[in-house]
Amino acid sequence: MVDPMTLSNTRSARGTSRWLGLLTCVAVIVVLPLIFRDAYWRGIITICAINILLAIGLDFIFGFAGQLSLGHSAFAGIGAYTSTVLVTALGANFWVALVCGVVCAGLAGVLLSAFAVRLKGHYLAIASLGFAVITYQILVNWISVTQGPLGIYGIPPPPSISIPGLQTINFSNHQAFFYLVSAFALLTYVLLRNLTRSPIGDALTAVREDEISAASLGIKGTKWKMMAFGIGCAIAGLAGCFYASFIGTLVPDAFFITESFMILAMVVIGGRGNLWGAVLGAVLLTVVPELLRGIGDFRLVAYGLALTLVALFLPGGLSGVLIQSARRFNGSVTRAKSETHA
């Protein structure tokens, strides 16, 4: 029988830990542009925030729903091109275009999932890869809309926001844009975290582990898989919208299938199924290649070797190693306390 007081204290400690973690993330977001003052590194940390959106969206699909998608970059492309065409060709407001891009990417994910939801393992991976190839070819050849290989140039940043009593926020400034993307990334992370810790997360985990057993409990795997795929793809679309407005130029090669493998590597290396592992992977695989540019082409060898070693010897990813280390530390502390009391 669990002591109600102990259970209450445990929940209170977890709640305090979550708030401390959230406040730490906010503090890091605020401080980073103050540390990196040059435009180059502010651009890198902004791309890092965009990659975090891509990684946690894929982790929700792959890590929690168990669906291996190799076409995640395609949904980022759908979001990017939808919002960009609406802004540049039709003169739509950026925020309206962003919502349309997110919705279009999410609907595309739901439609793909509706056809491929019964596929598993490498069959689903091949289907999603085929979708990515088709999407790329459409972006390249639908020249009247996407401008094809020539690309779309002069994409404006989000419009400035005027807050009464405060200075106008101009998103053409890298610092302001970083804060904007980071705020969306943090909000998305919190929403997904709460979702995975709710009964919805339990249903997704049940479907991932054993769909037949889940069905015997009344959990419809098809419905939950479609929902997870749609949400993950919508987040990818959001990342694509921010990418287009930040870079200011949009070409199909930015969403080639190799980008999907990079996003998947972020999730696998960081550790799938816990969201913060995907964040860790996104940060590492965005920042480390930039730090290795000084060694020229040898950085590709070092980069590939590191990925191979982690994949071979750390199946739970880097976050899995940290979790195991924390558990061992807590266990040693508990044993030390018990021996002291004894």
Let me know if 126 is exposed, middle or buried by CB neighbors in 10 A (0-12, 13-18, 19+).
middle
Is 143 contained in some domain? yes
How far is it, in rounded angstroms, from Cα 169 to Cα 159? 9
Q: Report the domain count for the chain.
A: 2
Burial of 175-207, coded b for 16+ CB within 10 Å and e otherwise, reads: bbbbbbbbebbbebbeebbebbeeeebebbbbb
The domain boundary, picked from 256, 278, 311, lies at 256
Kindly tell me the burial class for residue 341, based on how many C-beta atoms sit within 10 Å of its own C-beta (0-12, 13-18, 19 or more).
exposed
The whole-number pLDDT of residue 2 equals: 47
Regarding whether 32 and 48 lie in a shared domain, the answer is no
Asked if 242 contacts 53 with a C-beta cutoff of 8 angstroms, the reply is yes
Sorted by sequence, the CB contacts under 8 Å of residue 3 that are 6+ apart come out as none
Q: What per-residue confidence (pLDDT) applies to 334? A: 61
Residue located via tokens 């069905």: 215
Q: Evaluate whether residue 63 is within a structural domain.
A: yes
pTM (global) more than 0.85: yes
Does residue 86 share a domain with residue 15? no
Nearest Cα to Cα of residue 82 among 21, 155, 169: 155
Instruction: Write the CB contacts of 257 (distance below 8 Å, at least 6 apart in sequence).
Output: 70, 71, 73, 129, 132, 133, 136
Domain match, 13 and 105 both: no
Coil/strand/helix, residue 119: coil
Q: Are 60 and 72 within one domain?
A: yes
146 and 170 share one domain: yes
Confirm whether 182 is domain-assigned: yes
Residue that is last in its domain, among 256, 287, 317:
256
Identify the burial level of 54 via C-beta atoms within 10 angstroms of its C-beta, where 0-12 means exposed, 13-18 middle and 19 or more buried. buried
Residue 237: what pLDDT?
Answer: 95
In a domain, 301, yes or no: no
With a CB cutoff of 8 Å and minimum separation 6, the contacts of 13 are none
Same domain for 102 and 235, yes or no, is: yes
C-beta separation of 281 from 266 below 8 A: yes
Best CA proximity match to 320, nearest among 271, 265, 264: 271
For residues 32 and 166, membership in a common domain is answered with no
Q: From residue 210, give the alpha-carbon distance in Å to each of 114, 131, 137, 205.
A: 19, 26, 36, 9
Together in a domain, 104 and 68 = yes
In a domain, 331, yes or no: no
Do 30 and 51 fall into the same domain? no
Given this model, what pLDDT does residue 261 score? 86
The alpha helices in 173-256, defined as continuous H runs, are: 174-196, 199-209, 211-216, 221-247
25 and 74 fall within a common domain: no
Please report whether residue 325 resides in a domain. no
26 lies in some domain = yes
What is the spatial distance between Cα 15 and Cα 21, in angstroms, rounded to a whole number? 10
Answer yes or no: do 89 and 50 share one domain: yes
Identify whether residues 189 and 240 lie together within a single domain.
Answer: yes
Residue 229 domain boundaries:
39-256
The Cα 306–Cα 289 span in angstroms is 11
User: Cα 63 to the chain's mean position, in Å?
Assistant: 12
Domain-embedded: residue 127: yes
Residue 155 DSSP label = P
Structure-token pair, residue 228:
């997870």
Per-residue pLDDT of the chain (342 residues; tens, 9 = 90+): 445 555 455 555 565 777 787 888 889 999 999 898 888 899 999 999 999 999 999 999 998 888 888 889 999 999 999 999 999 989 899 999 999 999 999 999 999 888 877 766 677 788 888 999 999 999 999 999 999 899 999 899 998 888 776 678 888 888 999 999 999 999 999 999 999 888 888 888 888 887 778 878 778 777 888 899 999 999 999 999 999 999 999 999 999 888 888 898 889 888 888 888 899 989 988 888 887 776 666 666 766 777 777 777 777 778 777 777 766 766 665 666 565 655
